[in-house]
Structure 1
Amino acid sequence: MEATNHLKASLVAAIALANTFGSAWRHGRRSPEPTVTAVQDVLRLTTRQAVGVEVEAYAPGGRRLYDALSCLPAGDVDAAVEVVNALLRSTKAAPQLTRHEDAPWHLHFGDPGVATGWIAEFATATAMLLGSGDVHRLRRCEAARCEDLFLDATRNRSQRFCSTACQNRTKVAAHRARST
């Protein structure tokens, strides 16, 4: 079964939410405190609708997703599964199919405006990754002072950095080290 676009978007959003709440360093700088705008940007990855956000409601789920996903670069799928299963149980959100305007049917958990529903959706997308053959595609950025996680989308599975900015910082640092 090929993942739907909505499931893929939910997984990307799960990783973004995890990085928002779990990463101490991002792109060479200390991570800022999560804001309403940051969480809304994450939710916008899966929906075009404006969603009211209380940052504190997303924080525990975001941190737990980061804890789970952080196990994967080391190959500890079992530890990630334990965290995701506990997160899924804690949400107690009931899945249901929903559709917006002309969009296809897709899975939502409870009211999509409520943090618990979003966390359940992101935990489910993470669970689907954990149960797939693509679990090894989840990586941690190799740049200094960046703890972000990302999905390696390259065909040859060689992506090392979460962004072009981190890749460029690393290349410049290596060049400077060779020049001295």
Structure 2
Amino acid sequence: MPWADLPRHNGRVEATDHLKASLLAAIALANTFGSAWRQGRPATAPSTESVADVLRLTTNRVGSPDPAEYASGGKTLYDALSHLPEVDPAVELVNNLLRVTKAAPQLVRDDGAPWHLHFAGPDVSEATGWLAEFATAVAMLLGSDDAHRLRRCEAERCEDLFLDATKNRTQRFCSTACQNRTKVAAHRARTA
């Protein structure tokens, strides 16, 4: 994963920025392959562009990913995260994904670049490397006190998962679109 694409603080990349970007990408990939309804509409089939959008959450260097290479891992992440707040069944699925992707974090250096962390060995496909990174980020969430911050959108006709980043832990919707749809529906119900 190229650190050059991540936010810098005083010229340094903060490890927490990288982890957060990887976790948000893991959740986005899970939603891409797991949600049947997204923001009030039936979910569309994952495309090259939708997978590329997920990868852009962590790097600017994105080619043309094949959605089929991400399908199984994306669905596994969705299934795992959907178990929360029950952590044990989520851990079982994530541990299996870590084994399947041969996740083995290691420092590597490309020509002229600083050392950076890869989450799988050089003998795996690019997609497997990404899935190993995303599984590692989810594993770190599951092993933390913040696992309860992962939520399912409360809007009707939306099955997306999101990470509640509010201080008071009260976020109910994955997006302002879902929040607004819910408010409009409640208003119409009251005035009918």
TM-score between the two structures when normalised by the length of structure 2: 0.86
Deviation at residue 4 of structure 1 after TM alignment: 1.6
Deviation at residue 48 of structure 1 after TM alignment: 1.2
TM-score between the two structures when normalised by the length of structure 1: 0.92
- The 1:78/1:168 distance shift into structure 2, 3 A limit, reads same
* CA deviation vs aligned residue, 1:112-148 (integer Å, no higher than 9, x gap): 9711000010000000000000000000000000000
* CA deviation vs aligned residue, 1:35-64 (integer Å, no higher than 9, x gap): 000000000101111233111000000000
Work out the CA distance in 2 between the residues paired with 1:137 and 1:172: 26
How many residues end up aligned between the 2 structures? 177
Aligned pairs (5 A) from 1:159-178:
159-178=171-190
Return 5+ residue gaps in structure 2 as ranges: 1-13
Q: Is the 8 A contact 2:101 2:120 kept in 1?
A: no
2:169 is matched with 157
Return the letter of the residue paired with 1:165.
Answer: A
1:128 is matched with 140
Aligned pairs (5 A) from 1:82-101:
82-98=92-108
1:108 is matched with 119
Return 5+ residue gaps in structure 1 as ranges: none
Q: Is the 8 A contact 2:107 2:116 kept in 1?
A: yes
Work out the CA distance in 1 between the residues paired with 2:114 and 2:24: 19
Q: Is the 8 A contact 1:139 1:149 kept in 2?
A: yes
Q: Is the 8 A contact 1:98 1:108 kept in 2?
A: no
RMSD: 1.9
Q: Is the 8 A contact 2:105 2:117 kept in 1?
A: no
Q: Is the 8 A contact 2:153 2:159 kept in 1?
A: yes
Is the counterpart of residue 118 in structure 1 residue 119 in structure 2?
Answer: no
Work out the CA distance in 2 between the residues paired with 1:3 and 1:167: 32
Return the letter of the residue paired with 2:190.
Answer: R
Work out the CA distance in 2 between the residues paired with 1:26 and 1:156: 25
